[in-house]
């Protein structure tokens, strides 16, 4: 289906039955197809939404580089216009993880939990430069290539300035296969876990950055466990 937001079309797909609704946001310039390895498994036990961010997949782009705050507003509109009932379990990979963090900080009352798959961190560029200027420059080039339609510096600053993450269940699934900057990335991933007193880190030992492709079954099990934990909590409150 398509949702009209100020004349722009945003593509979204919904499937499954049950609460909470799991909302997926993909990495880089990817769209809904990025979640194909686990979509059928997740929608077998709960309701789920996957969508194409502005400028990805079948969704129309913004006329200028888009910031995280604008993408969060888009997602909020998609969920509101489709009357998708909160609270949501948010799942984001890489850049999608940054957007889901910003959504949770912006709309804490709508957020039941957060799962991050090797998510981007607001300070990753300066931290890479501190480690080695060559690594920082390489990372900036990679971001410019894969997120050409995104204003990453503004998005990172919006994350720095956003309210703290609510005290929600947080699962940070991090790559086990590291690169030359593995120590810096591992530190950034540990930082993400500290955002919530209910945060836990899971290492995907057989995965690189593309955890959803390398170990989709692990991601499904983390989602399943948190979905049923949230259901148990909602029935005892």
Mean pLDDT, rounded, for 13-30: 94
| Class of the CATH domain delimited by 2-236 | alpha beta
CB within 8 Å of 161: residues ≥ 6 apart: none
User: Which of 64-68, 80-84, 107-111, 168-172 is the least confident region?
Assistant: 64-68
Q: What's the alpha-carbon Rg for the chain, to the nearest Å?
A: 17
Mean pLDDT, rounded, for 150-171: 95
pTM for this prediction: 0.94
User: What ranges do the domains of the chain cover?
Assistant: 2-236
The neighbouring-strand residues paired with 202 are 173
Q: What is the mean pLDDT of the chain?
A: 93
Task: Work out the pLDDT band at 237, boundaries 50, 70, 90.
Answer: very low
Render pLDDT for 88-104 as a digit per residue (tens, 0 to 9): 999 999 999 999 999 99
């Amino acid at each position: 289906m398509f949702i009209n937001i100020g004349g722009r079309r945003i593509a979204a797909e919904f499937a499954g039955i049950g609460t909470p609704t799991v909302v997926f946001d993909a990495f880089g310039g990817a769209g809904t197809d990025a979640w194909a390895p686990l979509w059928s498994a997740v929608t077998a036990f709960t309701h789920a939404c996957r969508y194409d961010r502005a400028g990805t997949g079948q969704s129309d782009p913004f006329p200028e580089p888009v910031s995280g705050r604008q993408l969060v507003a888009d997602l909020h509109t998609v969920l509101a216009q489709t009357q998708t009932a909160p609270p949501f379990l948010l799942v984001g990979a890489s850049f999608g993880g940054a957007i889901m963090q910003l959504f949770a900080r912006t709309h804490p009352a709508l957020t039941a939990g957060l799962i991050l798959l090797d998510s981007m961190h607001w300070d990753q560029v300066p931290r890479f430069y501190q480690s080695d200027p060559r690594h920082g420059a390489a990372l900036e080039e990679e971001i410019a290539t894969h997120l050409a339609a995104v204003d990453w510096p503004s998005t990172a600053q919006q994350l720095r300035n956003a309210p703290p993450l609510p005290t929600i269940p947080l699962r940070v699934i991090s790559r086990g296969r590291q690169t030359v900057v593995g120590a810096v990335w591992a530190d950034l991933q540990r930082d993400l876990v500290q955002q919530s007193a209910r945060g836990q880190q899971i290492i995907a030992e057989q995965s690189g950055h593309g955890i959803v492709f390398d170990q989709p079954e692990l991601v499904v099990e983390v989602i399943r466990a948190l979905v049923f934990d949230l259901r148990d909590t909602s029935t005892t409150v």
